[in-house]
Structure 1
Amino acid sequence: MSALELEKVDRNEQEQVEQIKSGKISTLLVIPENFEKELTSSSSQAGIKFYRDPAEAQTIASIEAILENIAIGYREQKLAGALASTGLNEAEVENILTAPVQIEQINTSTKQVDAISQYVPGYTVMFVFFIMITMVRRFFQESESGMVARMQSTPLKPITYLIGMWIPALLSVIIQCSVLLGFGHFVYGLNLGNLFAISTIVICLAVCGTGLGLAMAVNVKGENQGLALTQVFSLGGAVLAGLWFPFEMLPSFARAIGIFTPQYWAQTGLQNIMVRGADVSDIWQGLLVLLGYGAFGILIALLRFKYFIKTAIS
């Protein structure tokens, strides 16, 4: 395996254990001198020592699987020899050793499922909500420059001003998502599935992120507060919604909270399209949730905009 590097060493066993504790190596397999003799003996059990670094659980999982398969193979070989010694022929021995239950694995999707199908849509969704930092900064720049205060003496309506601030952010998010998903497709071979469905969920996700960005921009008291809240919302949502690792791996209490986050619905929708071949009709609930969050944010921004104008520097 290209991901594994095996090295035979003659140094002291304890020294190698210390290497694992210090993080210099991940595993140590110790085979005793009498291993072969014990393996061929019918009255004894051969033993080896397998030291492992708990911090490298994912890396060494493949090694553990290999060792387990080897142990099972030797066990079956030993059992076959014992059965043959009782007078059974080869066919009878094979019949006894055949597993009573045969498991047929059938993929329900023809699409390729791998880590890329988790990480690319996950990070695409996560980065969408960082647009809120830009929106907060833009609003406070307008406020500190006196532009917002002077707007009170013009016939410009609040909704017109908010739309003017919202549209550039919306387009920026759509372009950002297109670049990230396109990069995943052309560089890593990510299957995008139904392009119309992908485009629809990207637009709904952009509406959601920028709508919440408007609400945050007119409610926070400063850029630093906006930055802190954005990080909590973006990174916290990424964990609870399963953007960094499969949602099913989360504790039950985290999953119960995660389904209320817009990130969860966006990630689930994207993966359903990419992996399960879903179209717009299959993900309509997620689309409504994303649009609902976006509309809620825009409504809050409209209701709080008058207060934001009053706090603006003239």
Structure 2
Amino acid sequence: MRKIVTICGLELKRLLKKKQSYVVMFLMPLLFTFIFGGLSSGESMEKTKVLLVDKDDSFLSKEFTHQLKELNSLFTIEAVSETKMIDYLESKKVAAALVIPRGFKQEINSKKEPEMTFLTIPEFTSSGPIKEVVENRLMKLRLMVSASSEWSRYSGDEWSVMYEKIDSNIKETSFHIKKTNIEEKRSTAEINGASRVAPGFSIMFVMIMIMSVTGTILEARSSGVWSRLLIAPASRFEIAAGYLLFFFIIGFIQFALLIVSTHYLFGVHWGDPVALLLLMVALLLAVVGIGLLIATLVKTVEQQAAIGNVVVVATCMISGVYWPLEIEPEFMQKIAQFLPQTWAMSGFTDLLVNGAGVLDIIDQIGLLLVFAILFLFIGISRVKFE
């Protein structure tokens, strides 16, 4: 273990002597977060207008429309005809529209989920939260109707009578019950502009840094350090482990300091610290594996830096680091499922936006560990100990 730590320590000292390392590790990501976070914060906070076409025109469709309008801070609802909706969408006067289908009431009463139609213009990139509100409001309506129907079976009264009682008294219960809005997963801190961009830029610059430091194996070969290590009293496992520990520690230090810096400088709330730590470790292991793999495929440090940066930028673009995945073509979204940044961004989004815990992002952590095992196995197996 001492030999592993010694090799790691020597490489750390060499790297930290270079002033340009601090620029890539800290200055650039913080600068990008500040600039693009400020631009994001400057966006208009006006509510999105969503047109609504009610083809069912029933008691329940009107109730659903009413529920969408009340206590909703994300968007406003305007009921229009189908012709007007089409005209407004084609002229891009509005960004989104919702269509309540015929048979809506019948489907709800049959305990089925109606097929709602949600239409958006191509430029609209914020449909996710709106869809979530619509789905949760629909779930609430179905639960209320289901409860009313069950009561009707025993009382003999019309289900609509109980529905109206539930609707009118739901907020006036005399019991001391802790109530949580159905569209809110958890109570989270306010999301500012920096919070939207900090995870993406942190991932990108950590990857760039790790791609750079994994090139130290090539540098060690060309400078003769690798040859001296091979004749030193250290096993191949200890040499490999020393370098892997070095790569991981550099990434961990950079990511940890970026998390702390963005929290205190820009008010970014990263969420559950335990979940954040596990997600960060899993991501770093995957990135170290990618960097090591690239280092075994090239011959010079310059090639490592050039190819590594191209890989980082290209995969970050596809995986939704710079913009939402939903605006990308479908084939790119499918490719993104095979990139670790996609799952890292999904995990960080759940932590920052939804207040997720470890169990909520266990799938993302598990997938990142699978990426890590795959890339590390291939990378280590290609390292030439000669």
- For residues 163 and 201 of structure 1, what CA distance do their matches in structure 2 show? 22
Q: Give yes or no for contact 1:135–1:214 (8 Å, CA) kept in 2.
A: no
- For residues 121 and 163 of structure 1, what CA distance do their matches in structure 2 show? 28
Q: CA deviation at 1:135?
A: 2.5
Deviations 1:197-246 (A, max 9, x none): 01111111111111222222222121222122211221111111111122
Gaps of 5+ in 1: 1-57, 70-99
Partner of 1:164: 242
Q: What amino acid is aligned across from residue 222 of structure 1 in structure 2?
A: T
Deviating beyond 6 angstroms after TM superposition, the runs of 4 or more aligned structure 1 residues are 58-61
Q: Give yes or no for contact 1:131–1:213 (8 Å, CA) kept in 2.
A: no
Q: CA deviation at 1:158?
A: 2.1
SS at match of 2:268: coil
Say whether 1:108 aligns with 2:184: yes
Partner of 2:307: 229
Q: CA deviation at 1:282?
A: 1.4
Say whether 1:145 aligns with 2:223: yes
Say whether 1:255 aligns with 2:333: yes
Q: Give yes or no for contact 1:240–1:254 (8 Å, CA) kept in 2.
A: yes
Partner of 1:194: 272
Q: What amino acid is aligned across from residue 360 of structure 2 in structure 1?
A: D
Larger RCO, structures 1/2 (Cα 8 Å, 6+ apart): 1
Select the residue among 358, 361, 364 that pairs with 1:283: 361
RMSD between aligned residues: 3.1
Instruction: Spell out the pairing of 1:66-145 with structure 2 (5 A cutoff).
Output: 101-102=65-66, 103-104=68-69, 105=72, 107-109=183-185, 110-111=187-188, 112-145=190-223
- For residues 222 and 188 of structure 1, what CA distance do their matches in structure 2 show? 39
Deviations 1:144-199 (A, max 9, x none): 12222344444532221111111122111111111222222222222221111011
Identity %: 24
Deviations 1:50-93 (A, max 9, x none): xxxxxxxx999969x89x99xxxxxxxxxxxxxxxxxxxxxxxx
Q: What amino acid is aligned across from residue 341 of structure 2 in structure 1?
A: Q
Instruction: Spell out the pairing of 1:204-223 with structure 2 (5 A cutoff).
Output: 204-223=282-301
Partner of 1:97: none
Q: Which has the larger radius of gyration?
A: 1
Q: Cα gap change, 1:267/1:60 in structure 2, threshold over 3 Å: closer, same or farther?
A: closer
- For residues 155 and 304 of structure 1, what CA distance do their matches in structure 2 show? 22
Structure 2 length-normalised TM:
0.51
- For residues 256 and 114 of structure 1, what CA distance do their matches in structure 2 show? 29
Q: Give yes or no for contact 2:230–2:236 (8 Å, CA) kept in 1.
A: no
Q: Give yes or no for contact 2:285–2:372 (8 Å, CA) kept in 1.
A: yes
Partner of 2:108: none
Q: Cα gap change, 1:237/1:216 in structure 2, threshold over 3 Å: closer, same or farther?
A: same
- For residues 132 and 192 of structure 1, what CA distance do their matches in structure 2 show? 22
Say whether 1:296 aligns with 2:380: no
Deviations 1:34-62 (A, max 9, x none): xxxxxxxxxxxxxxxxxxxxxxxx99996
- For residues 211 and 254 of structure 1, what CA distance do their matches in structure 2 show? 23
Say whether 1:184 aligns with 2:262: yes
Partner of 2:253: 175
- For residues 198 and 224 of structure 2, what CA distance do their matches in structure 1 show? 41
Partner of 1:51: none
Instruction: Spell out the pairing of 1:260-275 with structure 2 (5 A cutoff).
Output: 260-275=338-353
Q: Cα gap change, 1:130/1:59 in structure 2, threshold over 3 Å: closer, same or farther?
A: closer
- For residues 246 and 116 of structure 1, what CA distance do their matches in structure 2 show? 15
